């Protein structure tokens, strides 16, 4: 009978090992809690269509987080690899500052060359890490007694400031006071899906601040990274 035939077709290949609670699809000897086996290369072993019930069925093969989502939260790519989208690190941005030096004598913030990242975030909060390394140069063997500040801007708005230790040299014969500023996982609020520019800006201050702060990008590495 047609009805019985349909029911029989649906259950063929589905076996349960009651003792170990193992279920097999396409195998009579399941080795795991769920064991799916396919031997015909012309057939898909596992196919999931439109689990998110999206309008128009535009997202086949997804396991999504909500009924109206338009993004694939868990999916298989063209190579057959399972990927999870929108976890932190999937949209990481990073830049190493180009070689050379940049002497910053300004007492107000100016852009640090190469320390700019423009991207489209996936999260409402991204995390900035950076390291700016250099030295306070000396003039006529005078200790610089200066400090260096790194500002963080989101678009045209300054949202954070980081301060170096005072770059002081005990050797007044001409050596420079080394200094660096680092930050790890500083949170920045952004709007997902809207392009944003995050940059580092620098300024110098303190006694003898006219000597400036030299970002040494040739001998020491300076970088910024955004975890998204």
Q: Measured between alpha carbons, how far is 153 from 181 in angstroms, rounded to an integer? A: 16
Is 141 in contact with 151 (CB distance < 8 Å)? no
Of the candidates 147, 65, 115, the one whose C-alpha atom is nearest the C-alpha of residue 224 is 115
Classified by CATH at the fold level, domain 93-227 comes out as Jelly Rolls (2.60.120)
Q: What was the pLDDT predicted at 34?
A: 82
Q: What was the pLDDT predicted at 137?
A: 76
Of the candidates 122, 73, 59, the one whose C-alpha atom is nearest the C-alpha of residue 93 is 122
Backbone angles phi, psi at 75, to 5 degrees: -155, 165
State the 10-residue block means of pLDDT for the chain, 228 residues long: 45 48 82 76 57 48 48 60 74 94 92 97 95 79 76 96 68 59 95 96 82 86 96
Other residues' Cβ atoms within 10 Å of the Cβ of residue 138: 20
Q: What was the pLDDT predicted at 151?
A: 96
Q: Measured between alpha carbons, how far is 103 from 148 in angstroms, rounded to an integer? A: 11
pTM of the model: 0.63
Q: What was the pLDDT predicted at 25?
A: 82
Q: What was the pLDDT predicted at 225?
A: 98
Q: What was the pLDDT predicted at 37?
A: 76
Q: What was the pLDDT predicted at 52?
A: 47
Domain ranges of the chain: 2-84, 93-227
Q: What was the pLDDT predicted at 14?
A: 46
């Amino acid at each position: 009978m047609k009805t019985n035939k349909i029911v029989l077709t649906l259950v063929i290949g589905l076996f349960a090992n009651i003792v170990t609670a193992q279920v097999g699809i396409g195998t009579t000897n399941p080795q795991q809690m769920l064991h799916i086996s396919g031997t015909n290369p012309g057939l898909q072993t596992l196919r999931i269509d439109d689990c998110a019930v999206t309008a128009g069925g535009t997202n086949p093969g997804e396991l999504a987080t909500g009924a109206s989502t338009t993004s694939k939260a868990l999916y298989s790519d063209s190579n057959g690899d399972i990927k999870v989208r929108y976890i932190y690190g999937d949209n990481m941005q990073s830049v190493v500052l180009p070689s050379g030096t940049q002497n910053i004598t300004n007492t107000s913030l100016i852009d640090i060359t190469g320390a700019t990242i423009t991207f489209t975030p996936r999260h409402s909060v991204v995390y900035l890490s950076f390291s700016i390394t250099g030295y306070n140069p000396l003039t006529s063997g005078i200790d610089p007694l200066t400090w260096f500040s790194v500002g963080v801007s989101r678009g045209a708005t300054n949202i954070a400031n980081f301060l170096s230790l005072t770059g002081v040299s005990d050797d007044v014969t001409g050596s420079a006071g080394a200094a660096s500023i680092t930050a790890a996982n500083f949170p920045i609020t952004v709007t997902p899906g809207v392009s944003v520019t995050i940059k580092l800006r620098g300024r110098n201050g303190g006694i003898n601040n006219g000597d400036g702060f030299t970002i040494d990008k040739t001998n020491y590495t300076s970088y910024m990274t955004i975890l998204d």
